[in-house]
Chain A
């Protein structure tokens, strides 16, 4: 299992949400909230590392595209 921790001050919540929706068909994703982070747990067998990495990049790309984390 790979755990991605998206800091609330660095990532836009909508970006993380959209990334999770997009990659949900490719792995088992569980999202939980912590005070400072959105945490996404990724389980995807052989593709797990790649799915987790691309999910992180997608969330980052959307955050940058939308201007900032807010």
Chain B
């Protein structure tokens, strides 16, 4: 398969005279943070320029510092590497977003643990109105329910 055929149409454009390759991206597929991440990893070997040619589209232009000349295959390979890095960054960004709440909770617990036991003032300010624990399946049993006087209940029914 030719290098030109290895990308979807319109995604990659090679400018052999400028020694640069241009990728056009859909910003609904690749968040800006992923583009920054991928671009940042390439600035040691390429000159990278980002642009937004129109709403909903992002453009990354890569020009190898060493100079690829008119080597179209090398520029296409560079575009492929960038696309892979971009996908990796987008995936990591999504995982970070999904796990943000857990990371914040674990960090807060670690910080709270490092601060030592709460003082009497902290305990006095503690908010008890929240739910004690989450029970999405409804299997938790309260202390009152577990240890209630079961013998007294039939009598109450009989009294009716």
- Show the binding face of A for B, using Cβ within 8 Å: 4-5, 7, 9-11, 36, 50, 52-54, 56-57, 60-61, 63-64, 68
Contacts and interface: CB of A to CB of B under 8 A. Distances in A.
Contacts of B43: 57, 60-61
- Among B47, B49, B58, residue most surrounded by chain A Cβ atoms (within 10 Å): B49
B51 A56 contact: no
B65 interface: yes
Nearest to A54: B47
Given A54-B47, A56-B47, A68-B32, A7 B39 contact: no
| SS of A interface (majority) | helix
Given A53-B63, A53-B65, A60 B32 contact: no
A9 B36 CA distance: 12
Interface of B: 32, 36-37, 39-40, 43, 47-52, 58, 63, 65
Given A53-B65, A60-B43, A5 B51 contact: yes
A10 B65 contact: no
Nearest to B37: A64
Contact of A10 (B32, B47, B63): B32
Contact of A57 (B36, B48, B58): B48
A60 B43 CA distance: 9
A2 B104 CA distance: 46
Nearest to A57: B43
A60 B48 contact: yes
Contact of B52 (A7, A63, A64): A7
B36 A7 contact: no
Contacts of B63: 53
Contacts of A50: 65
A68 B37 CA distance: 11
